[in-house]
């Protein structure tokens, strides 16, 4: 049982450097340039020398989640992060990650590139929350590598959207691995472009992708989602579930689900829909005393959950 003296592994990345680190025994947290110099095995993941970013290596089992906060506090700043997270064989880890701007008017750029590696039998619950300002530009680009029997449970949620969001995620799934990906985004006076791929490379691997997207206040959302089965992935299974709601007449959503199968013993499926808020549902809530705006907000919140 955890005691009051036990602390979560955590760190704060502010603007261009790590300002605060606390590492539990068995978890190593370093700036990416230092990890490159200290551990030569990281070179195959970083590929080039990182100039900034963070490195996390979960070597031993811990009962507490890793808490990560990447923050921008200065106007017109540009972060270019190169990150690496590795979870060792048989370890179950949990990460709560927040990326944010401290105010709405910074006009900042957050560009993050990284790799997340789950070794054999490893599990990772990864919750990723974004909170940005009105005029920010945000571009997260991550690749996940799932070893044999590994399990990834990934939630990405845009709570306050930037003006421009370019989101890309690619998951490589090994034998008997499982990937559960959820992407939740509400656009408000913004352009959101999503690109997600689950590549089932090993036998009996599986992947589920769920998108819940809302466009309101002159927003545009484009989402390309793919599940691909490779030739050696006999018995693989995958499913895409893409749903969107358009709230006002000046917004739009474009969904592009794609399935690719190279193995006749695999099965992948999809469902997609783009709709609107139904009038009878809105009228019912307004008849209960809610204003139109509050009724719409309540419907949107329920959809995004």
Q: Please write the tens of the pLDDT for every residue from 120-176.
A: 999 999 999 999 999 999 999 999 999 999 999 999 999 899 999 999 999 999 999
Overall average pLDDT of the 202-230 stretch: 96
Read off the pLDDT of each residue in 51-67 and give the average, rounded to a whole number: 93
d(CA 292, CA 282) in angstroms, rounded, equals 7
At residue 284 the predicted structure's pLDDT band, cuts being 50, 70 and 90, is: low
Its pTM stands at 0.91
- Res. 20: pLDDT tops 90: no
Give the pLDDT score at 225: 97
Residues 6+ apart with CB under 8 A from 241: 208, 209, 210, 211, 270, 271, 272
pLDDT level of residue 74 (50, 70, 90 thresholds): very high
Q: What is the pLDDT of residue 285?
A: 66
Token pair for 137: 């530009």
Q: Residue 240, Cβ neighbours under 10 Å: how many? A: 24
Q: What is the mean pLDDT of residues 55-66?
A: 92
pLDDT per residue as tens digits for the range 94-119: 999 999 999 999 999 999 999 999 99
Residues present in the chain in total: 305
3-state secondary structure 157-201: EEEECCCEEEEEEEEEECCCCEEEEEEEEEEECCEEEEEEEEEEC
Q: Which residue has the higher pLDDT, 280 or 240?
A: 240
**pLDDT exceeds cutoff 80 at 178:** yes
The pLDDT score that the predictor gives to residue 303 is 74
Give me the pLDDT at residue 87, please.
98
From CA 149, how far away is CA 194, in angstroms rounded?
27
**More reliable by pLDDT, 280 or 214:** 214
Q: What is the pLDDT of residue 289?
A: 76
75-86 pLDDT per residue, tens: 999 999 999 999
Q: Is the pLDDT of residue 1 over 70?
A: no
**What CA–CA distance (Å, rounded) separates 238 from 207?**
5
* pLDDT, average across residues 47-59: 95
Mean pLDDT of the chain: 92
pLDDT > 70 fraction of the chain, expressed in percent and rounded: 96
Q: Where are the domains of the chain?
A: 12-279
Given a cut of 50, whether residue 2 has pLDDT beyond it is no
Q: Residue 54's pLDDT is what? A: 97
Q: How confident is the model at residue 219 (pLDDT cuts 50, 70, 90)?
A: very high
Confidence of residue 282 (pLDDT cuts 50, 70, 90): low
pLDDT at 61: 92
């Amino acid at each position: 049982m955890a005691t009051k003296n036990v602390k979560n592994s955590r760190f704060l990345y502010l603007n261009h450097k790590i300002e605060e680190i606390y590492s539990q025994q068995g978890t190593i947290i370093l700036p990416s340039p230092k990890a490159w110099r200290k551990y030569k095995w990281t070179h195959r993941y970083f590929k080039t020398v990182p100039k900034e970013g963070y490195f996390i290596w979960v070597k031993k089992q811990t009962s507490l989640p890793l808490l990560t906060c990447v923050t921008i506090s200065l106007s017109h700043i540009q972060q270019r992060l190169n990150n690496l997270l590795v979870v060792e064989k048989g370890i179950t880890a949990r990460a709560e990650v927040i990326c944010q701007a401290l105010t709405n008017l910074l006009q900042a750029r957050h560009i993050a590139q990284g790799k997340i590696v789950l070794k054999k039998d490893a599990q990772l619950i990864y919750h990723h929350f974004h909170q940005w300002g009105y005029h920010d530009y945000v571009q997260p680009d991550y690749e996940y590598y799932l070893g044999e029997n590994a399990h990834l449970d990934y939630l990405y949620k845009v709570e306050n959207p930037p003006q421009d969001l370019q989101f890309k995620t690619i998951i490589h799934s090994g034998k008997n691995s499982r990937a559960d990906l959820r992407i939740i985004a509400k656009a408000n006076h913004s352009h959101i472009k999503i690109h997600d791929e689950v590549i089932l490379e090993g036998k009996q691997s599986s992947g589920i992708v769920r998108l819940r997207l809302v466009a309101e206040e002159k927003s545009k959302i484009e989402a390309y989602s793919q599940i691909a089965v490779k030739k050696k992935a006999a018995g693989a299974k995958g499913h895409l579930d893409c749903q969107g709601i358009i709230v006002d007449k000046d917004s739009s959503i474009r969904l592009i689900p794609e399935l690719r199968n190279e193995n006749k013993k695999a099965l992948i499926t999809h469902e997609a829909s783009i709709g609107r808020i139904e009038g009878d549902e809105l009228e019912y809530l307004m008849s209960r005393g809610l204003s139109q705006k509050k009724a719409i907000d309540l419907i949107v919140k329920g959809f995004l959950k």
